[in-house]
Every structure is written in C-alpha cells, then in structure tokens.
Amino acid sequence: MEVSQIMIEPTTIDKDERLSHALEVLEKKGVDRLVVIQNGELRGILTYADIADRLGVGKVVELSIKRLHVSSAMTDTVITVTPNDDVTDVAQLMIERGMSGCPVLRENGELTGIITKAEISRLVEKVDNVKVSRLMTTQDILQVNPVARLIKARADMLDAGYSGLPVTDGGRVLGLLTERMVAEAMARFTVEVPDKHRANQVRQIRVVDAMLKQPPMVSPDDSIAVAAKTMLDANLNTLPVVGAGNRLVGMISATDLTRFVANKFKVPSESE
C-alpha cells in the first residue's frame, strides 16, 4: 500500500502567525500537528508537544501565548516522504526516528499531504484476531497522581519519551494526561494569570487541572481493532489498559499499532 492511499490533506499555518491562533486551528480542525509554511514552502512542523515545550520554558511562562509566534515553537528539521512510498516503510521510519508524522511531498517539492500514526493506526481497525495484550506495554509504566505538579509530570513525560500518561491513585485509573492537554492547560494559564504572577503560580498547576477525567479504556482481551477504533474515535494517541476495578495493567498507543504495521501486520517477537 502506498502513502497516497491513506495520507490526509495537511492543515497549514504561516510561521509568522501567533501561537494562540495555531492552538485554535489545532482544536478546530481536530488534528495534532500543523505544517508550517512561508510563501508556500515547507518550513517546519508544529505539534502540541512543541507548544507545551515552548510554554514550559521558564522565561516564556511570563509571556502570554498571544505574544508568541509559530516560528518560536515549531520544529524546523522535518523528514518528508513521497506519495509513492510504501506505508510499512514509512511506519518503520517513524519508529526508528521517533517521529509521529511526516509531510508528503511530490517530486517537485510540492506539499500534497501528511501521514501520521493516526492514519497508520486506521489500518489496524479490521485486525480482530490480535489481542491488546500482545502489543501493550506492561513494564516500567510511568504513572502520575492527580495532585502532582503539571510541569513535573510534563518533564517526566519528556524524559521517558511518552506522549501520554495514565493518571492513577492506588493503581486505579482516574484520568489520562497527553501533550495536547498539557499545551491547552499552559495556554489557558498564560492568558488567565496576570504577567507578574505567572512565574510563581505556574508551579501550582496540578495534573487534575489538565487531565481528561474518566478516559476511554480497553482490556487486555480486547482486539487491537477495538483499541484502534477507541483511540481514533476519542482523538487520542494512547489508552490505559485495565483489569478488574479499572486497575492499570498496561498501556497501548499509536506507536504500538504503528510498530505492528511496520512489522507487516505481525506481532513483533520478544527479541524485537
């Protein structure tokens, strides 16, 4: 299958637009990234993670998101693919490079689409003979308590390379924290809190102020088709896997589903 068969139309934004406008576009379009352009040419990618990183910088906290530009937060090193590339090869590229999406360019350099782990995950929606337990992560799951400080949770998320964390109390899942939720909470903070108070009050933002309460969850015995559909319907890139009493037993993410596709729709062996 070629990239052209599953890629979607890119949502673009000029690099000189305000970061607050970019966040509005992300929310309105229901996407997790914007392709940054200038004079019609590709300049970078802007994701919720980029916005969270930018707003979490000490000196920037004192500024309102309305005073920052897209160019100050975007990632300007972008790996692109072509419409004719094989989807499994692109999935493998994403896994190897730690990427969650790639702009799609024609041979003449024209931007024609974008492919993300969400589009790749859609290919798993009909795979009902593989259980979540075969792909989910069960070891060293990073968890966070609802009353933990948001900036500390974000730092832990970044250090671990995760895009989402289960919010738990005594092993029971209470919520979910993602890059999007961190970015939105930080953006609200920079708008609602007066400039002179931001530097001190930012440390008082708690996970509960940003998390999704009662998130969708799956069980180890559900198929990965159910996990993919649940994830996509909720516009999430990770889900808690729970047992009896909503006790956390694992996590499954778009990365796990992308790895499955990269392995030509086979469960990676233990050695992989």
The 3-state DSSP composition of the chain as helix, strand, coil percent (nearest 5) reads 40, 25, 35
- Report the chain's C-alpha Rg in angstroms: 19
Whole-angstrom distance, CA of residue 228 vs CA of residue 216 = 12
pLDDT tens per residue across span 41-60:
999 999 998 988 887 654 44
pTM above 0.85, yes or no: yes
- Beta carbons of 158 and 129 less than 8 angstroms apart: no
pLDDT tens per residue across span 57-83:
544 455 567 788 999 999 998 999 999
Whole-angstrom distance, CA of residue 150 vs CA of residue 186 = 9
pLDDT, one tens digit for every residue, the chain (272 residues): 999 999 999 999 999 999 999 999 999 999 999 999 998 899 999 999 898 888 765 444 555 677 889 999 999 989 999 999 999 999 999 999 988 899 999 999 899 999 999 999 999 999 999 999 999 999 889 999 999 999 889 888 888 888 899 999 999 999 999 999 998 888 887 666 555 555 556 667 899 999 999 999 999 999 999 999 999 999 999 999 999 999 999 999 999 999 999 999 999 764 34
The pairing of beta strand 111-116 with beta strand 164-169? unpaired
pLDDT for the residue 271: 39
Domains of the chain: 3-122 (3.10.580.10), 132-262 (3.10.580.10)
pLDDT for the residue 127: 95
Q: What is the DSSP letter of 17?
A: S
Q: At what angle do helices 87-97 and 254-262 cross, to 10 degrees?
A: 130
